[in-house]
């Protein structure tokens, strides 16, 4: 772009991806963006000179986004100010910020960052509430490192996977991110016993289809008291009933996307995934995934139909 056009072009491009924001940058600004996206997620890798970015309360009111942004710096440093909290972020760190609250951000020269824009509904239901401030996470080890590695792999395989595959990987990254956020939002717990939370999740996942599954049933099968199960799940920011619903929704989503279940009605899939009431299922599904079960089915049907067309059609 011509030097005189760069600021306006860059501002419009970045705002169209993330949300409406105001930019301050030097004359002759240099930047570059890679952008992968589906209807649900956007994955961005950008490089750029020093700049300051502001999303004001007016921007939030006039241009609500309904999303969070996960930021993972690769080179350089950045500072994010949100809800009277300032967070400095460098390689080895992660930040989850809401795009529906005012925010100020600055980054250094020679800055590069990987960012995932996530529908808010896919996070709120998992962490039990709405984030109003930026949360910092460790990306050098543990769950945060796995999330960053997963997003890096997703970017590198852009030409080899389709939209459904992209969304599936992004969903898994959000699953892990929410587990990491649970640890960031709760007091630290130093545990020397086996990871009971993982055992609970595995058991619930394997039995999510059982409409009679309850927290008490999980505790009885695993040989623990219900209070012990509740206490352990609380440490990762969830409850037995929330975990059971979450796994049932994931199971139903997989079945709605799979051609082998295409002959089943949505109500039948709801029942076979552990929901006794189709209306309750539909409302919970829309809250979790930001779309109706029928929307998921129709989109996947169209996708599978397009892939089955003969070459040249």
pLDDT tens for each residue of 74-99: 999 999 988 777 888 899 989 999 88
- The alpha carbon of 190 is separated from its chain's Cα centroid by a whole number of angstroms, namely 26
**Its pTM surpasses 0.85:** no
Q: Average pLDDT, whole number, for the chain?
A: 84
CA gap 57, 186 in Å, rounded = 28
Of residues 61, 54, 47, the one with CA closest to residue 18: 54
Q: Where are the CATH 1.10.10.60 domain residues in the chain? A: 196-306
Q: For position 127, what pLDDT does the model report?
A: 65
Place of tokens 């623990």: 224
Q: For position 186, what pLDDT does the model report?
A: 35
Q: Which residues contact 95 (CB under 8 A, 6 or more apart)?
A: 70, 71, 80, 87, 89, 134, 135, 136, 137
CA gap 123, 134 in Å, rounded = 14
Supply the DSSP symbol for 129. S
Rounded to the nearest 10 degrees, the angle between the axes of helix 215-222 and helix 226-234 is 110
For residue 235, is pLDDT > 90?
no
Write b or e for each residue in 240-255: b if 16 or more Cβ atoms lie within 10 A of its Cβ, otherwise e: bebbbbbbbbbbbbeb
At 97, list the tokens. 């910020």
What percent of the chain clears pLDDT 90, i.e. is strictly above it?
Answer: 34
Q: Which residues contact 64 (CB under 8 A, 6 or more apart)?
A: 100
For residue 188, is pLDDT > 70?
no
Phi and psi (nearest 5°) for 95? Answer: -140, 135
CA gap 92, 248 in Å, rounded = 34
CA gap 86, 110 in Å, rounded = 21
Q: For position 105, what pLDDT does the model report?
A: 92
**What's the whole-number mean pLDDT along residues 273-284?**
92
**What's the whole-number mean pLDDT along residues 265-290?**
92
At 192, list the tokens. 């020397």
For residue 137, is pLDDT > 90?
no
CA gap 197, 181 in Å, rounded = 15
Identify the band that residue 195 occupies on the pLDDT scale cut at 50, 70 and 90: low
Superfamily of structural domain 3-185: Jelly Rolls (2.60.120.10)
Q: For position 192, what pLDDT does the model report?
A: 32
For residue 9, is pLDDT > 60?
yes
For residue 206, is pLDDT > 70?
yes
What percent of the chain clears pLDDT 70, i.e. is strictly above it?
Answer: 91
**What's the whole-number mean pLDDT along residues 11-25?**
87
CA gap 98, 132 in Å, rounded = 6
Q: Where are the CATH 2.60.120.10 domain residues in the chain? A: 3-185
For residue 111, is pLDDT > 50?
yes
Fold of the domain spanning 196-306: Arc Repressor Mutant, subunit A (1.10.10)
Q: Which residues contact 113 (CB under 8 A, 6 or more apart)?
A: 45, 46, 71, 72, 73, 74, 76, 78, 107
């Amino acid at each position: 772009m011509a030097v005189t056009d760069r600021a306006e072009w860059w501002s419009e491009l970045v705002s169209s991806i993330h949300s409406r924001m105001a930019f301050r940058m030097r004359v002759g600004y240099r930047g570059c963006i890679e952008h992968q996206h589906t209807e649900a997620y956007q994955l961005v890798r950008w490089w750029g000179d020093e700049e300051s970015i502001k999303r004001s309360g007016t921007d939030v009111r006039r241009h609500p986004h309904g999303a969070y942004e996960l930021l993972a710096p690769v080179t350089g440093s950045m500072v994010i100010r949100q809800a009277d909290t300032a967070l400095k972020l460098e390689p080895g760190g992660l930040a989850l910020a809401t795009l529906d609250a005012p925010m100020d951000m600055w980054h250094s020269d020679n800055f590069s960052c990987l960012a995932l824009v996530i529908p808010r509904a896919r996070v709120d239901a998992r962490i039990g509430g709405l984030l109003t401030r930026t949360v910092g996470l460790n990306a050098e080890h543990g769950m945060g490192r796995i999330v960053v590695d997963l997003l890096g792999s997703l970017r590198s395989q852009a030409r080899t996977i389709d939209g459904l595959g992209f969304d599936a990987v992004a969903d898994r990254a959000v699953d892990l991110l929410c587990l990491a956020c649970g640890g960031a939002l709760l007091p630290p717990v130093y545990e020397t016993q086996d990871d009971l939370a993982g055992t609970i999740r595995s058991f619930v996942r394997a039995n999510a289809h059982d409409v009679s599954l309850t927290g008490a049933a999980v505790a009885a099968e695993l040989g623990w008291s219900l209070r012990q199960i509740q206490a352990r799940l609380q440490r990762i920011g969830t409850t037995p009933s929330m975990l059971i619903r979450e796994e049932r929704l994931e199971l139903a989503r997989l079945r709605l996307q799979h051609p082998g279940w295409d002959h089943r009605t949505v109500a039948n899939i709801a029942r076979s995934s552990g929901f006794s009431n189709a209306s309750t299922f539909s409302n919970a599904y829309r809250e979790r995934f930001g779309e109706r079960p029928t929307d998921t089915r129709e989109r996947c049907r169209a996708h599978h139909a397009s892939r089955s067309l003969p070459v040249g059609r």
